[in-house]
Chain A
């Protein structure tokens, strides 16, 4: 880290604990312990411009949802059914090792029906009826492409802007840049739910902070007795005892602070206090029993099952209400190499209603305007069938050359369909957008210039968008 950035971080921490003219005294500490929750630990100079959005809810559809069956309608494809994908379309591009040895590449049109929805007439598949109802809130990108062809590098690319592990995730960058709006909760929260299709492995490093300080890493909320690891006091040990314990620990640590004058001790005292507050705030947050029936009606029956995608969507809303900066859900199970029609139905049953409900719910609460919702996976799927193509069954391999995602809220233009692909949903023919562009656009809406949010490591000023990325201005709402 360069000295100025470092100084800024130190200053930030100082600021957080109350400014003291000569180091941190016990008096300052006292005021810090009673401090109100507020957002003031953003990096100096941020935001770079007035933000449209304050937070992000990223609904990561892990495995690679099929754009052809969900968003990218290709009515003419029926004519080519079963025929080999023309070489003029494929142009010798690389395939994964799973289909590279296939003798032929039979074109597999989607068996699902598409129809226009909303005032915008957005074309969406019958697989996602709930999403279709919010078409006018969606900003649909059909022209995304990525460099990676396998899951792990592709997810890593979306999460960190680079295919190989080791760089900070997008949530960490944003937490680093903008800090938290809630002193009792982490700035970056992650939840993982299990789908019913082919589940590919995921890794904790996908929300790690890379070379950024680890306090910016995503904190995983789990559907377990301890929603955050080690949150609960040991059995038999009550809250009143813990309070007394922390009082005594604080007294001893304050004596140490007086003796050593090491500001880390003050920080440690404060972190133990925050831990105590989290022990109350997190269970309150994750306890959905206080939600009215209407909520569950909105998000669907699954929402009553802890750990389900739908339940996590409700939690995402509750986290957004409490000012958590970056909320990321991962839903596994979109990797439909075979039996796609059956598995994608199951997958949509678990995600469609809750995804749409989240948009609707935030809108009702007036939170959609300053919350960006992102829905999408790490790549798309091939137009040709992996394995045998039959009347009602087919599979699809990974396809990085084009796929679709949608955004909503946070100043994104609703009802917009952006970009187009060729007749085979194989190559992009209009408005290509890459992963860096998406990142640049999300940062832009948060008031961050993606070229200026940097961190010096190993001699280099790193950024989320590496040396790439442009803000996708056509996606931004023209409304003031």
Chain B
């Protein structure tokens, strides 16, 4: 193993003094703490080696290794005495034992774990760029030096791919090469940082960390809508939101004073976890899983800690107790959510999240409406006068009832059968509340097709007048399967109580509520039920005689739509029926109405007044209720007002309708919300949801600093604690993750674990300097990026020598520039960019680019189909690709994208044959190759050579060398020959993909260029950040 860089035991190699944190603790942690660590007590083991006092007392004699029980036991000859024991499967190497010896011999100095101490700002060891000073100091110690600076083309391409995820265009390259000013590179970096593509590039990795996806995961994996949160992330990066704000808003934006909609929306971060909708699940079990996921994600992303390990027992390595885990858990547990997620769509709590465009339209509509309303107000004297005249005329006219027309879905006056069906015989019609009413005998009922076509997420209002001779009982207005406990929704009476329900499955999947009070027999009541589509009890209002009724919730588990599994829900509306033949309504029903919107209390009150216009008009103006006045006014404006006024009214109505439709089109986003009363959190024994132990309050682990002064002990306080400059982890963990993006490996390689099992930093002083600098600049993210990419360290050539590869295969010492295969998203995006196909549009709903047929169908259950996008949406950047958790986009999977099941912060790169097949044969790349070939022919001049040069430059950012050009020329010649006389084959080859080939170009030649362009897209250099 000679020559490998093994950072943990570097000390021995240097002959330098042993450092506890760097050299010793990793050995103890990895080989001893499993038993002699924080969880020792629970295992009945008396000795802890993670506690200094205990170790000194019982295992270590400072200065004397031979008398230290620790050394004796790890070197014992007898297998029964030797540590670690055989059954543990752990073994100490000779070098590790000698490190322990040296440490004890040198006095056994103990230190607190480095990452739990605040970063120390060391003065850079040399003038110049601080990053270079720190890196060079380390290289000097190793007897190595920097590599020369990479060519200008290479550096620009590297920076462009890192900062925007797209390669520089030939024009950008030319401009950069032509700019001879000393700050040319800095200007180029500023341009890249200012590009909207920058935010998209940065968002990619954040989406991995935040386990963002477009579906719920688990088994059914229905669609959800979190893209508004994704767009918020992109915008935050683009406007260079300071990192501390970025963090606090995502953790607790909803709890900030006067939280804006964007700040609430940001908390979607902790709702991106999966949601289980399986039919038979136990909701309490998954409610726990969601909170655990929040704790695991939050600790990994912001603290670089694996808190999740302490869910079932004390952490084996880090000083985190199980109780402390549940104290942190309590911060994220106080959200009104159900363990069973909604089968389709978002699960509460959620908020409407209009896009900027939608908001603009909404504001414009409101402004227009305001104008019209102001006009009507200005006409008040004229209106009042005209209305009085009209009111007088009503006395002579036949009675008319007015109801709100806005959003009216259907109206059933029930004066006669009209076009209703009466499958069990017609009810009688008798004088009712408004004209005639239908009298039901317990057998008859009425049916209307095509009305109330609502599902569980739609808003609606149902209303009717009812009269019963005996205890009011039976269905009033329903749309449900006609049997007891049927599927659908309905307004019923149940032994006098008003009963409303939306039911997918009576017991397990329904929203059912009933009134506290009972209705009496022998009088008319007006009933109205409004439902916001929230699927929750809070979305339901029931009014009796225009007054809100107190309601009791019987079931609140609705999650499956009525039109489930691709089947339409076909039931008609029934009046007086909808619970089967044994339970039909007895009594009278009059004037049933259905709206596709939620009527407000005043509107319902007006309905319930139930007066014909002439009788309203007969009431002296001063004695009319507001509802009565409003009804008369609306009716007058609608039917009898003079021209200009009536037009204004009509326009106001149209605007309101438009606004209503717009509101309905807003996507929602799932967000965090605090329950008004703190939910009790218990320690869960062995992590099991059904084994609560002692009750715990929100709190932080002891080994980290306490809450900052004045911070509340809740989620907001937790967020304030995260961003407090006294927190030793946030800045370090963040700069380290960005470092990983640039150099392929973090300064701490275990980007997700800064705990005791994490790796010692390759450049500890640099890490701390960057962390303190990040805080010093006000958490300025763009400044941090600029600092890194302008360093000489970053700009080195990535060419290596065999010796250097042997010495430092992972380039941890940074004696050369970074060189590694581009991430999945960037590979596809750059191919589209090189082809000239990329659609540069920021944000919006996720899209479905090319994907082999049938991938979803093979695995999923029902009614989910991959419907390929059309036109420009085929060529959006990859972070907009629809991410279905159970069947992730195959190219992303092939190229090691994070799985989006749970938080992933470590980048992972493999090199496989499936990747080769993907880049050669996936229609995405075949089509991109064709378009790149087309560009070579159109833009690359007249000769084959100039065209090949052009293509090569688009792909790699540089001009080909003669030998390279020879190979490309040979390839082009070969393909020209190959397609010669094979017109049909060339046609087929050119027909791949939705965008047609330029008909002006000769087919054989285009096919040959397309083939060579595909080769260019597959070059190692093209797929590599060099």
Residue ranges of A at the interface with B (Cβ–Cβ < 8 Å): 2-4, 7, 10, 22-25, 94, 96-99, 101, 149-152, 164-166, 192, 194, 199-205, 208, 213-215, 217, 219, 222, 224, 226, 228-238, 240-242, 244-245, 248-249, 251-253, 255-257, 259-265, 267-269, 271-272, 274-275, 278-279, 397-398, 451-452, 454, 458-461
Contact = CB atoms under 8 A, between A and B. Distances in A.
Pairs A-B, 3 closest by C-beta atoms:
A459-B757, A96-B280, A23-B802
B1 A253 contact: no
A205 B901 contact: yes
B917 A230 contact: yes
B852 A224 contact: yes
A205 B278 contact: no
A200 B219 contact: yes
A229 B890 contact: yes
Contacts of A4: 1
Given A166-B901, A236-B986, A272-B916, A261 B805 contact: yes
B772 interface: no
A248 B282 CA distance: 59
B825 interface: no
Nearest to A149: B280
A97 B992 CA distance: 49
Contacts of A23: 801-803, 805-806
A204 B971 contact: no
Quick one: which of B920, B964, B968 has the most chain A CB within 10 A?
B920
Contacts of B804: 261
14 contacts: A3-B7, A23-B802, A97-B508, A201-B886, A203-B859, A236-B989, A236-B990, A245-B920, A252-B968, A264-B1024, A274-B916, A275-B917, A279-B917, A460-B316
A150 B281 contact: yes
A458 B986 contact: no
A135 to B, nearest CB: 33
A241 B975 contact: yes
B805 A278 contact: no
Contacts of B281: 96-97, 150
B971 A244 contact: yes
B57 interface: no
Interface stretch (B415-423, B472-480, B662-670, B747-755): B747-755
B220 interface: yes
Contact of A97 (B282, B805, B921): B282
Contacts of B890: 229
B853 interface: yes
B605 to A, nearest CB: 39
Interface in B766-812: 798-806, 809
A150 B280 CA distance: 7
B372 to A, nearest CB: 51
B201 interface: no
Quick one: which of B29, B804, B1011 has the most chain A CB within 10 A?
B1011
B1020 A251 contact: no
Given A203-B859, A252-B967, A460-B757, A261 B899 contact: no
Contact of B801 (A201, A226, A261): A261
Given A22-B806, A261-B799, A271 B912 contact: yes
Nearest to B912: A215
A205 B914 contact: no
Contacts of A152: 218-219, 276, 278
Given A241-B978, A244-B971, A22 B917 contact: no
B4 A7 contact: yes
Nearest to A208: B899
Given A249-B1015, A458-B750, 13 more contacts: A96-B281, A99-B280, A150-B278, A202-B860, A214-B893, A217-B893, A233-B921, A234-B921, A234-B926, A236-B1007, A251-B967, A264-B911, A459-B756
Nearest to A226: B852
A398 B982 CA distance: 59
A268 B917 contact: no
Given A152-B219, A261-B805, A201 B988 contact: no
Contact of A272 (B753, B859, B913, B1021): B913
B656 interface: no
A460 B307 CA distance: 12
Contact of B964 (A252, A260, A264): A252
Interface of B: 1, 4, 6-8, 29-30, 87, 89, 217-221, 274, 276, 278-283, 289, 306, 309, 316-318, 340, 507-508, 690, 750, 752-753, 755-758, 798-806, 809, 819-821, 852-854, 858-861, 885-888, 890, 893-894, 896, 899, 901-902, 908, 910-918, 920-923, 926, 961, 963-964, 967-968, 970-971, 974-975, 978, 982, 984-992, 1007, 1011, 1014-1015, 1018-1021, 1024, 1026
A407 B1026 CA distance: 51
Contacts of A238: 978, 985
Contact of B992 (A205, A234, A279, A461): A234
B68 to A, nearest CB: 25
Given A97-B280, A228-B917, A272-B913, A234 B896 contact: no
A272 B1021 CA distance: 14
A149 B508 CA distance: 17
A166 to B, nearest CB: 5
Given A226-B852, A230-B922, A248 B970 contact: yes
Contacts of B885: 203, 205
A420 to B, nearest CB: 27
Contacts of A265: 1020
Contacts of B801: 23, 261
Contact of A214 (B690, B821, B908): B908
A23 B809 CA distance: 10
Given A200-B219, A234-B921, A271 B915 contact: yes
Contacts of B289: 164
B967 A236 contact: no
Contacts of B758: 459
Contacts of A240: 978
Contact of B4 (A3, A149, A251, A255): A3
B887 A204 contact: yes
Contacts of B853: 224
Contacts of A242: 920
Nearest to B903: A166
A219 B218 CA distance: 21
Contacts of A237: 985, 989, 1011
A203 B805 contact: no
A450 to B, nearest CB: 10
B14 to A, nearest CB: 17
Given A10-B809, A150-B280, A255 B219 contact: no
A205 B971 contact: no
Given A96-B280, A214-B908, A271 B913 contact: yes
A242 B920 CA distance: 9
A94 B757 contact: no
B860 A236 contact: no
Given A97-B280, A261-B799, A245 B1011 contact: yes
A201 B1 CA distance: 47
Contacts of B967: 248, 251-252
Contacts of A454: 89
Contacts of B963: 255
B955 to A, nearest CB: 11
B255 to A, nearest CB: 29
A232 B859 contact: no
B757 A278 contact: no
Nearest to B509: A97
Given A201-B886, A230-B918, A454-B89, A268 B911 contact: yes
A192 B858 contact: yes
A251 B961 CA distance: 13
B910 A213 contact: yes
A151 B902 CA distance: 19
Nearest to A94: B282
B917 A249 contact: no
A260 B799 contact: yes
B226 to A, nearest CB: 18
